[in-house]
A and B are shown apart, each in its own frame.
Chain A
Amino acid sequence: MVEVKIENISKKFGDLQALHEVNLDIKDKEFFVLLGPSGCGKTTLLNIIGGLEKQDAGSIYLGDTCIDRLPPEKRDMAMVFQSYALYPHMNAEENITFSLRIKKTPKTEIQTRLKETSEMLGISKLVKRRPSQLSGGERQRVALGRAIIRKPRLFLMDEPLSNIDAKLRVGMRVELTRLQKKLQTTTIYVTHDQTEAMTMADRVAIMHSGKVMQVDKPLDVYQKPNNIFVAGFIGTPPMNFLDCNLEDRKDGGSLKTDAFSFDLPSDMYNLARKVTPSPLIMGIRAENISVSESKKNKDDIQTEVYAIEPLGSEIIYTLSFDNHLVKAKAPPNLLLDIESKVWISIDKTAIRLFDKETGKSIF
């Protein structure tokens, strides 16, 4: 059982607060992703877990033991670096077996495990080559092999896929997930790529300026963002945001932006009403806005096509109305010209509402 408990970790670099009282519970055998834009502190957190950096405050527990005082070499964790960090003066085999040789593992066992690992990763033929003679993807595998062969308690991965080309990355994503499920080793994986996070994670922690914004399953993060940062960060294209206010009426309420307003179902209204009358932000995903060339409902809004991004399976239209821009997904057969007039209809059940001041989600 390898559970990682991160308690109140803070870290400062000079004046920069890299991590601010971070708390996380990572479960046994979990593929846990730390996701966030660059500079959010995710790599720092990973380094602190690995012992490569020291926290200013807080503790890390592996199971029930506090590991704050253990140096990295005694933590029994394996790390895959963004740069792979292969030892340039050793060939692939020596790289992979280095940790075992340091531990003075018997030679026969090293050979068995090397064979097992290199076959698992499909690099048996490359083991005699130096890192400089390997391609990016091959180096990636050797770096993984170096981590896997140790059978560590924990894998730490720092953007391991960011340096290989896009096509290979998609394949490696799947392979890495399968590998982790097979090895059943708890994994903490750092990335800034939300596709990686969504596709690989059991759970994701979204980080922003040294704080954890939300920890949830990938789909929950997408569907029920806790706050406006997560809502805007997850999803391509990002969620559309519009400033709005709540207007009371006798039999409920309506949501009013400067361009349009519509009635809210009573349950949604009641939730929204709980917040003191403050400005709100309405969030709506591109797939919840439907585009048509004629007005179909009374609440439809007239817009003008501002930009077109055909993606093959769908077209993303950027539409403008009253100084607002929203993005909407449309089926690939709906071909519109730029500056043509179209109508959009918003799926009200899919609306997310945020408190403008705190950024917190209301529903």
Chain B
Amino acid sequence: MNQRRFLVYICAVLLFVWSIVPIYWVMNQSLMLGSDALYVPAYFFPKDPTLANYYRIFGYSVETKYGTIRPSGFAPQVMKGMINSLLVSIPVTLITMAVATPVGYALGRYKFRSKNLLVMLLLGSRALPPVAIVIPYFYLYQFLGLINTVQGLIIIYTSITIPIITWVLIGFFATLPKDMELAARMDGCGRFTALRRIVIPMASSGLAASAILAFLLSWNEFLYSMILTAGSTAQTLPPVLPAMLFMQFDATALFSATVLTLIPPIFVALFFQKYILQLKLVDPVTV
């Protein structure tokens, strides 16, 4: 028993190191000035921690112990990218949830003809590698005038998120107890009212988790943004970061931009978290 426990701890520590240490390292570096950050051996805790890099990313020059440092050359792109990313990800999340919730409910709860085919097609739409269709998209978007636009990205991103989130929700709705919905019908609700007043509130934890997932899928999307909006005013944040690496290497500015990229998803997760743990379903048998 003790041995098993020991193994569990080892795994937990490995998992922690695997997922947290890289993030910690980026934060650690982002709080130091250039020459301290690149110093070998590296400082595990930031030496003379400062927010200077963050000011620089927002376009301010700062006074430091090494003298005045000018704003990062990427400041306009990072800020614009951040705004664009939000302008894309928030609508994508909302549209995805508005579409995937009823579709997932219908596919998860009701039996009807060619249901399996529909589910297969839904997933099949995601089976192509994105790289294979990005060039056709490029020509199509050029033709439609959607290239270099936020709207264009929203359309593509919803085509990615809706199938995936629907897929997740089908399983979720299928496992949700059915009696409450039937009770609502007996209590005088039509199908739609029962869905709105009973099923959706009961499903809030699954819906919240799905919304986080939809936001992340959209927030992190790199390829389409890179090909369809690169260099334009519609570019989202992800393609900006590697550009900083290749065009004008400024390690600490890159690190602080990376940390900034992490922040909105954290807020989104925190916002939805309260729905995830809030609801205890009642199981009458195990009372």
Residues of A within 8 A of B (CB): 50-52, 71-73, 77-79, 81-89, 98-99, 102-103, 130-132, 135-136, 139, 146, 150, 156, 163
Q: Which residue on chain B has the smallest CB distance to residue A103? A: B188
- Check B188–A88 contact: CB distance below 8 A: no
Q: Within the complex, what minimum Cβ distance (angstroms) separates A201 from chain B? A: 22
Residues B156-195 near A (CB distance < 8 A): 177, 179-180, 182-190, 193
Residues of A within 8 A of B285 (CB): 83, 163
B-side residues, CB < 8 A to A, are 177, 179-180, 182-190, 193, 197-198, 201-202, 204, 279-282, 284-285, 287
| Cβ-defined contact, A88 with B184, below 8 A | no
Task: Return the chain B residue nearest A81 by Cβ.
Answer: B179
Q: List 15 A-B contacts (CB under 8 A).
A: A71-B190, A72-B185, A72-B186, A73-B188, A81-B179, A81-B183, A84-B284, A85-B182, A87-B180, A87-B183, A88-B282, A89-B202, A98-B197, A103-B188, A146-B183
- Taking a contact as CB atoms under 8 Å apart, the answer to whether B180 and A88 are in contact is yes
* Distance (whole angstroms) from the CB of A16 to the closest CB of chain B: 16
Collect the chain A residues with CB atoms within 8 Å of residue B183's CB: 79, 81, 85-87, 146
Known A-B contacts: A72-B185, A84-B282. Give 13 more (CB < 8 A). A52-B182, A71-B185, A71-B190, A82-B284, A84-B179, A87-B183, A87-B198, A88-B280, A88-B281, A102-B187, A131-B282, A132-B280, A135-B287
**A98 contacts B187, C-beta separation under 8 Å:** yes
B287 contacts across to A, CB distance below 8 A: 135-136, 139, 163
Chain B contact residues: over half helix, strand or loop, or mixed?
helix
Q: For residue B182, give the distance in angstroms from its CB to the closest CB of chain A.
A: 5
Residues of A within 8 A of B182 (CB): 52, 72, 79, 81, 85
* A83 in contact with B186 (CB, 8 Å): no
**B281→A73 contact, CB < 8 A:** no
Partner of B201, one of A79, A86, A89: A89
Our pick among B179, B190, B282, B284 for the contact of A73 (Cβ within 8 Å) is B190
Known: A81-B179, A102-B193. A87 touches B284 (CB 8 A): no
- Are B177 and A102 in touch, CB under 8 angstroms? no
Q: How distant is B185 from chain A, measured CB to nearest CB, in Å?
A: 4
**With A99-B188, A102-B189, A131-B282 known to touch, is A83 a contact of B179 (CB < 8 Å)?**
yes
